[in-house]
Chain A
Amino acid sequence: MTTNKQTTDQDGFDFMINAGREEQDRDMIGILLATAITVVITACQYLGLL
Chain B
Amino acid sequence: MNKNSIFSTLYSLKAALPGLLAMFFIAIFSNNLVGVPNPFTLQNLFVWLDGVIGPLNHQSFFQIMNSNFVWNPLLLGLIIGNLFGVPNAWKRGLSYIHLMMPLGIIMLAPHFMIGHAAKLGFMPILICVAAMFITATVTLCTGRLLKLDDRQTSIIAGGLSTGDPHAGVILMPLIKAKGGQVVGASACVILFGVIAMLILPLVGPLVGIPDKYFGLAAVTTVGNGAQSLFAAFGQSYEAGRYATWFDVGRHVIMPAGFIYVFVVMFIRKLKNKGNTNVHATGDIKTFPIWLLVFIFFWALACLHLFRQPAAHAIFNMVQWDFSMAAAALGLSLPLREIAHDGIKCFAVTCIVGCIRMVLLLAALLICVKTGLLPA
Contacts and interface: CB of A to CB of B under 8 A. Distances in A.
Instruction: With a 10 A CB-CB cut-off, give which of A4, A15, A44 has the most chain B CB atoms.
Output: A15
B309 A22 contact: no
Interface residues of B, number: 46
Nearest to B337: A4
Contacts of B8: 25
Contacts of A35: 106, 293
A31 B102 contact: yes
Interface stretch (B92-100, B149-157, B202-210): B92-100
Contacts, number: 113
Contacts of A20: 283
Nearest to A22: B9
B295 interface: no
Contact of B313 (A7, A18, A50): A50
- Interface bracket on A: 20 to 34
B98 A18 contact: yes
A38 B312 CA distance: 11
Given A7-B94, A16-B94, A30-B99, A41 B313 contact: yes
A31 B102 CA distance: 7
27 contacts: A4-B334, A6-B86, A6-B334, A7-B86, A7-B91, A7-B94, A15-B91, A15-B94, A16-B97, A18-B95, A19-B283, A21-B9, A23-B98, A25-B8, A26-B98, A26-B99, A26-B102, A27-B102, A27-B288, A28-B6, A29-B103, A32-B6, A33-B99, A34-B107, A34-B293, A38-B106, A38-B297
Given A6-B81, A41-B310, 10 more contacts: A7-B332, A15-B91, A15-B95, A19-B283, A29-B6, A30-B100, A31-B102, A37-B107, A41-B314, A42-B305
Interface of A: 4-10, 15-16, 18-23, 25-35, 37-38, 41-42, 44-45, 50
